[in-house]
Amino acid sequence: MIQAFRSTHVLTPNGLAPATLLVENGRIAAVLEWADAPPETALNDFGDLVLLPGLVDSHVHINEPGRSEWEGFATATQAAAAGGVTTLVDMPLNCIPETTDVNALNAKRAAAHGKAWVDWAAWGGVVRGNAGALLPLARAGVPGFKCFLIHSGIDGFAWVDEADLRLALAKLRGTGLPLLAHAELTGPVDAATARLNGANADWRRYSTYLASRPDAAEVDAIALLIRLAEEYSTPIHIVHLSSAKALPLLAEARGRGVPVTVETCVHYLWFDAEAIPDGATGLKCAPPIRDAANREALWDALAAGEIDMVITDHSPCPPAMKGRDEGRWDRAWGGIAGLGLALPVFWTAMARRGFKLEKLGEWMAAAPARLAGFAGRKGTLAVGADADIVVFDPDAEWTVAEKHFHFRHKLSAYLGAKLQGRVEETWLHGEQIYAADGFIGTARGRELVRQ
Ligand SMILES: [Zn+2]
């Protein structure tokens, strides 16, 4: 069956304009003028609503298998569908077994079977001692690898130092697969924490937590990663950049052609340290949310093309682990649940700053698709791409309530946020999977492997 999707606002690589998308066998077969929908097609006319490419979130923690009491494929992918995200790339650390060899990847595939409402892929993990497992994982289809330069919070996912990184990069060189890195060095964090404890700092205060994860931890880690990306000519991707102080280093390296890319998170662009109450450990994440001036510097860097993409780093846990009764930042689990909310939150913040929707398509769809090796196939409304389509009302105003949370635990730092922009429908491979707070059909998501 040939379908047509028509609106006066379709976001294609050429910009936002009236268009008709012809969809055949789940893929976009043609991008036509608005008036040119062929008469024999099944026409879906969306009027003036915006048609966006299905978003790609290349940084989520699904936690299954092994920690499905934290999150899981069914709930995470439903949250994604409700938020206009049609491709997820799962991080390798919170599942058991951690995705550090092919057997573990196969366990994840088995766990996902029949549960994924959107398409997904799995990053492989680089940990101390698994360099020999990297090429087999690459051959098994992972789109790249993730590592930590500091304790990850998960004892089974060992962090790596420069020597370990060199072993991994020697394997990855020439594969074209990126190494994603949590860029905080342990030295500055340990030193700051010892200083704070020596001064009997109050761990209920946000300022204590912020001081314990200084900018220098990020800046020093990024300097090391830039050096290695250059030396090994292997792409390194900085995940969840928080510190704007690292931006000059990154811009300089990128200007010299060093293969380094960088993402930031919706929560770093939305919240600021000044507004975080003491004890509000629901907002704990690492690196931490910094001050408002830092946040605005991140926005400037996005505008200047110095940050490539915006993701959620959706990382939920059972509510008790957030330690909200105790309110101690040193004991709470670090991670913010944002899957399903990222598009309206980010769009609200963009609109306030005068950004256009075209940029959203680049930052939340095309760029993360490129990172994962799915350019042209995901994150774009262009001929040959999967017909993953989001119907978006950019003007609808609403307030985030628990009923909008489709992830496992109804806990999110965005509760109560007043937002602009709402996902009306989500389509995957030309089939509708979500409409106005309801899911349609069954879990039809597929695993994406890098070819
Ligand atoms: Zn993460």
- 105-120 residue pLDDT tens: 999 999 999 999 999 9
Distance from Cα 314 to the centre of ligand 1, integer Å: 7
Is residue 436's pLDDT more than 90?
A: no
Q: What is the pLDDT of residue 156?
A: 85
| Range 324-346 average pLDDT | 94
Q: What is the pLDDT of residue 213?
A: 98
Distance from Cα 3 to the centre of ligand 1, integer Å: 37
What pTM was estimated for this model as a whole?
A: 0.97
Q: What is the pLDDT of residue 29?
A: 98
Confidence of residue 275 (pLDDT cuts 50, 70, 90): very high
30 phi-psi bin (left φ>0, alpha ψ -120 to 50, beta other): beta
Is residue 154's pLDDT more than 90?
A: no
Distance from Cα 53 to the centre of ligand 1, integer Å: 24
Phi then psi for 100, rounded to 5 degrees?
-115, 5
Q: What is the pLDDT of residue 328?
A: 97
Show the tokens assigned to 253: 């390296």
Q: What is the pLDDT of residue 138?
A: 98
Q: Which secondary-structure segment (H or E) carries 225?
A: helix 215-232
Q: What is the pLDDT of residue 422?
A: 97
Distance from Cα 265 to the centre of ligand 1, integer Å: 10
Distance from Cα 289 to the centre of ligand 1, integer Å: 14
Distance from Cα 286 to the centre of ligand 1, integer Å: 9
Distance from Cα 429 to the centre of ligand 1, integer Å: 27
Distance from Cα 72 to the centre of ligand 1, integer Å: 15
pLDDT per position as a tens digit, 210-248: 999 999 999 999 999 999 999 999 999 999 999 999 999
Show the tokens assigned to 48: 């003036």
Is residue 451's pLDDT more than 90?
A: no
Asked if 48 and 401 count as a contact pair (C-beta separation under 8 A), the reply is no
Distance from Cα 267 to the centre of ligand 1, integer Å: 12
**Percent above pLDDT 90 for the chain:** 94
One-letter identity of residue 193: T
**Measured between alpha carbons, how far is 173 from 61 in angstroms, rounded to an integer?**
26
Distance from Cα 285 to the centre of ligand 1, integer Å: 9
Distance from Cα 351 to the centre of ligand 1, integer Å: 26
Q: What is the pLDDT of residue 411?
A: 87
Look over the chain and give the mean of its residue pLDDT values, rounded to a whole number: 96
Distance from Cα 219 to the centre of ligand 1, integer Å: 18
Q: What is the pLDDT of residue 324?
A: 85
Distance from Cα 92 to the centre of ligand 1, integer Å: 9
Distance from Cα 30 to the centre of ligand 1, integer Å: 37
| Range 302-324 average pLDDT | 93
pLDDT per position as a tens digit, 291-302: 999 999 999 999
**Measured between alpha carbons, how far is 367 from 261 in angstroms, rounded to an integer?**
10
Asked if 373 and 281 count as a contact pair (C-beta separation under 8 A), the reply is no
| Range 30-58 average pLDDT | 96
**Measured between alpha carbons, how far is 76 from 316 in angstroms, rounded to an integer?**
10
Distance from Cα 417 to the centre of ligand 1, integer Å: 23
| Range 49-53 average pLDDT | 98
Q: Which secondary-structure segment (H or E) carries 422?
A: strand 418-428
**Measured between alpha carbons, how far is 35 from 18 in angstroms, rounded to an integer?**
9
Q: What is the pLDDT of residue 437?
A: 74
Phi then psi for 121, rounded to 5 degrees?
-145, 170
| Range 77-94 average pLDDT | 97
Q: Within 10 Å of residue 446's Cβ, how many Cβ atoms?
A: 14
| Range 276-301 average pLDDT | 97
Distance from Cα 237 to the centre of ligand 1, integer Å: 13
Q: What is the pLDDT of residue 241?
A: 98
Is residue 322's pLDDT more than 90?
A: no
